[in-house]
């Protein structure tokens, strides 16, 4: 395992739900020593990033993005 590299794998399946709704579960795995410290933070930086990304998707879908 490298001291300087880590790999990140993502899965964002988009699921159609009744009533014109969708669900986007976010899944990830991170492998490598450089990620060991951030992975211990709560909430993790990746979780915070996922929440921001999903919030942007909601705003875009509802037409509420700033120009």
pLDDT, one tens digit per residue, over 18-60 is 998 889 888 888 888 887 787 788 888 878 888 898 888 888 8
* Full domain range(s) for residue 46: 7-61
Residue 18 lies in a domain: yes
Q: Is residue 67 scored above 50 in pLDDT? A: no
In a domain, 2, yes or no: no
| pLDDT of 1 | 61
Q: Is residue 34 domain-resident?
A: yes
Which residue do the tokens 């990304």 mark?
53
């Amino acid at each position: 395992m490298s001291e300087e590299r880590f790999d990140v794998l993502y899965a964002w399946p988009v699921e159609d739900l009744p009533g014109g709704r969708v669900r986007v579960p976010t899944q990830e795995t991170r492998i490598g020593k450089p990620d060991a410290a951030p992975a211990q933070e709560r909430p993790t930086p990746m979780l915070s990033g996922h929440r921001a990304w999903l919030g942007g998707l909601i705003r875009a879908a509802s037409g509420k993005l700033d120009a």
